[in-house]
Chains A and B, each alone.
Chain A
């Protein structure tokens, strides 16, 4: 008997084989959908199902997945999101990069909850998915173009009803932190653009013909209306008015702005880069993602008068982290990363590592110095082209430091190979734990524990049990938001998040989930990712922070020293393991697997 598909879903994934230019569907049962929801959660389950064990991320057999969610296609604000999931060429572990655009809606309306791409094209190609029909078109003329230009040409050539996700030159050249772009947005972290490049797939085009049916359309509409109203409130004001760039000057004031490869946490030129300053001089427009009422995008005047979208993370990584305080240079660097298709955080992190190595005489690159805007721009060019020093830097700081040796790994600020985002772990010690244990590596989107550090609920410099509780709570919330998927900028509008999210999910699917069920789902998703990494060779040594953070203190303006010792981090990780139902080596206990039904849902 055919299983009924819940509202918001199609109950199947499209499995594309690039070698043969064919596709088939893989049914996904309701129990799986309810257990993993969609987006990052469903992506984790699909990786268990579809990725051969220990496959190299750039191996043709390694899948690249575009995973949608039940809320995509509904009028709920910020729901036009999808997760790109695969094995990260930087970390060798699971990664899921979320992005918002019309690609999410068109992709889902092909009639699939996920699109899984395997194999390799014989030549540079564009994968076209029109409903369930799949074809390849040559992309030789697009090879070498930026993702935005490739997208523009393809839509002009084939039609505006198609939506495009494309890679830039960095992805083609397998830079390990290359992005996948669409509508000017980027699925950024983890290097899945290189996975797409390894498949010689310049772009994926989707056109949908289906409709998303909600179980209770009236309830969805009412919820959408209410959520939209709340999205205009004070909890999102920061994003509307200044965008994430508002963080920069504030973080500088509280010694949380990583500077010169984490050798300092304040930057003397921060005021010149601050949103409060440059908005007045350069802000051109505000914009929104598809289906979003927040409007967090701030477009600034870039090189040659172009419009460039910049965020805190771009500016932190290409500015203070590299010691560059010239806003022209930072905006130009950010724009160039977008054109080449490079994750700005890993780009800045890897260049900052190289700058420190060069200054210490570990790298023969006398031109590469902290604060040198020309050096920053040259390094980005070389990475995008994989030329000169770029051949090394395109590998990311972990692999590059392994190649350089001579103690250069002491300067590589990464966890599991993923470069740290713009949150100083010594002055944000809940976040320090979140960065250390996250399955994706050093990441601020799968763990937003900095929020707790900055709430005043505990001393952000004295790691302890409250910090562990906060880090777990943050991971759980992120797991659900990234699976529904809703934008994290909306998180402040939910008073009782798990029960409110359950209500949204129920209205779309017809389920009767409650807050407890979603809390359980969150734990399941977090552990499903951990289990995947375990299958791929993860050991608990990977749940750790670089030595610099454990051996060098930072002095705050108050005179207090921010110190995160190895013992303190160890104690937090041990407690995290206990609270997550893991053993002392970070492995899930049998009882935990059973309780979360992971022993039943994951077969490999």
Chain B
């Protein structure tokens, strides 16, 4: 790629900020970034926790061990993602985590004939097995899957979920960017279409209060309708999270409601 993927620009944000933001939108628990020793990271949401790999160059299992240790006792499962999947959709994360049931340790999507260990759900209790494998120098995720109960979920089964089928029918959520050309192709795609609503004093004097714009971030959505995200404006995402974070990642199907921050009577 020629430069650190985490900090690659993504429509006014960075790849890592976007991916962590989408995961954060999808889960109730902590979001943890595992970095290599000494690795510099771009600015992240303050709620995102950062931990460090014990050793560099030991592959995904080393990162998985550090991440599972960080969430131990705080979450019943972890969705594990790579940095370079800017088209990740919350519906995909929800689908994978939703497939985790009693007696299953890992939900492993298989897309295009390939398992996706960096788009999968893991039980935190696997940490011991993972550390044992690292100690044995068996560093491929496939070795882990031999030692635990894995639910492999193919494309069709993933898309049985109507929400995911609607939001990400091509399963672009797992499209990672290995080459510079992958990045440039993905970057050239139009930003997702989102519905923007404006209320109260932020609403236009005439015409519809809801419109569809293309925007990757909250700031872009605000700009698209002529608003500035200052202290007098907040946004509700899909009627749920309230945010004024300019880099909050948006995905197709989102509804953003801009409200006056001076709420109340």
Contact = CB atoms under 8 A, between A and B. Distances in A.
A236 B235 CA distance: 18
A560 B236 contact: no
B175 interface: no
A254 B261 contact: no
A238 B201 contact: yes
Contacts of B245: 456
B232 A234 contact: yes
B259 A276 contact: no
A559 B162 CA distance: 13
Interface in B190-221: 197, 199-201, 203, 209
Contact of B265 (A255, A444, A455): A444
Interface stretch (A1-9, A28-36, A175-183, A240-248): A240-248
Interface string B233-251: 0111111111111000000
B265 A244 contact: yes
A560 B163 CA distance: 14
A254 B243 CA distance: 12
A237 interface: yes
Contacts of B262: 235-239, 492
B199 A250 contact: yes
Contacts of A253: 197, 199, 236, 239, 257, 259
Contacts of B234: 454-456
Among B240, B241, B243, B265, chain A packs the most CB atoms within 10 A around the CB of B265
Contacts of B232: 234-235, 237, 492
Nearest to A444: B265
A453 B242 CA distance: 8
Contact of A250 (B241, B244, B259): B259
Nearest to B260: A238
A356 interface: no
Given A250-B257, A456-B244, A459-B241, A241 B199 contact: no
A454 B238 contact: no
Contacts of A557: 238-240, 255
A247 B263 contact: yes
Given A237-B201, A238-B200, A249-B200, A254 B265 contact: no
Contacts of B238: 556-558
A456 B200 contact: no
B242 A276 contact: no
Contacts of A462: 28
Contacts of A560: 240
A460 interface: yes
Contact of A454 (B203, B240, B242): B242
Contact of A254 (B163, B203, B259): B259
Among A241, A456, A492, chain B packs the most CB atoms within 10 A around the CB of A456
Nearest to B232: A234
B242 A312 contact: no
A469 B159 CA distance: 43
A313 interface: yes
B236 A254 contact: yes
Nearest to B203: A276
A448 interface: yes
Interface residues of A, number: 44
Contacts of A249: 199-200
B226 interface: no
Contacts of B237: 558
A253 B197 CA distance: 9
B103 interface: no
A162 interface: no
A311 interface: yes
A357 to B, nearest CB: 27
A246 B261 CA distance: 12
A450 interface: yes
A247 B265 contact: yes
Nearest to A236: B262
Contacts of B236: 253-254
Contacts of A312: 265
A400 B259 CA distance: 38
A254 B260 contact: no
A481 to B, nearest CB: 13
Interface string A404-437: 0000000000000000011100000000000000
Contacts of A451: 263-264
A456 B203 CA distance: 20
Contact of B201 (A242, A313, A445, A456): A242
A453 B264 CA distance: 11
Nearest to A316: B265
Nearest to B199: A250
Among A235, A242, A558, chain B packs the most CB atoms within 10 A around the CB of A558
B200 A454 contact: no
Nearest to A274: B199
A450 B264 contact: yes
Nearest to B200: A246
A250 B28 CA distance: 24
A275 B242 contact: no
A238 B198 CA distance: 13
A148 B262 CA distance: 31
A250 B235 CA distance: 10
A559 B163 CA distance: 11
A460 B236 CA distance: 11
Nearest to B236: A254
A558 B240 contact: yes
A448 B265 CA distance: 9
B125 to A, nearest CB: 24
B20 to A, nearest CB: 16
Contact of B239 (A246, A254, A311): A254
Contacts of A558: 237-241
A247 B201 contact: no
Contact of B242 (A235, A236, A445, A460): A460
Contacts of A238: 200-201, 260, 262
Contacts of B242: 254, 453-456, 460
B261 A454 contact: yes
B199 to A, nearest CB: 4
A444 B201 contact: no
A445 B199 CA distance: 23
A254 B257 contact: yes
Nearest to B197: A253
A242 B260 CA distance: 11
Contacts of A456: 234-235, 241-245
A250 B263 contact: yes
Contacts of B209: 276
Contact of A246 (B197, B235, B243, B260): B260
Among B201, B255, B257, chain A packs the most CB atoms within 10 A around the CB of B201
* 8 closest residue pairs by CB, A with B: A246-B200, A557-B239, A558-B240, A250-B199, A558-B238, A244-B265, A456-B242, A253-B257
23 contacts: A236-B262, A237-B232, A237-B260, A237-B262, A238-B201, A242-B200, A242-B201, A246-B200, A247-B264, A249-B199, A254-B257, A255-B239, A276-B199, A276-B200, A276-B203, A423-B264, A454-B234, A454-B259, A455-B244, A456-B234, A558-B238, A558-B241, A559-B163
Interface of A: 234-239, 241-242, 244, 246-247, 249-251, 253-255, 275-276, 311-313, 421-423, 444-445, 448, 450-451, 453-456, 459-462, 492, 556-560
Interface of B: 28, 163, 197, 199-201, 203, 209, 232, 234-245, 255, 257, 259-265
Given A246-B199, A247-B264, 20 more contacts: A237-B232, A247-B265, A250-B199, A250-B259, A250-B260, A251-B263, A253-B257, A254-B242, A276-B209, A311-B265, A421-B265, A444-B265, A450-B264, A454-B263, A456-B242, A456-B244, A556-B240, A557-B238, A558-B240, A559-B163
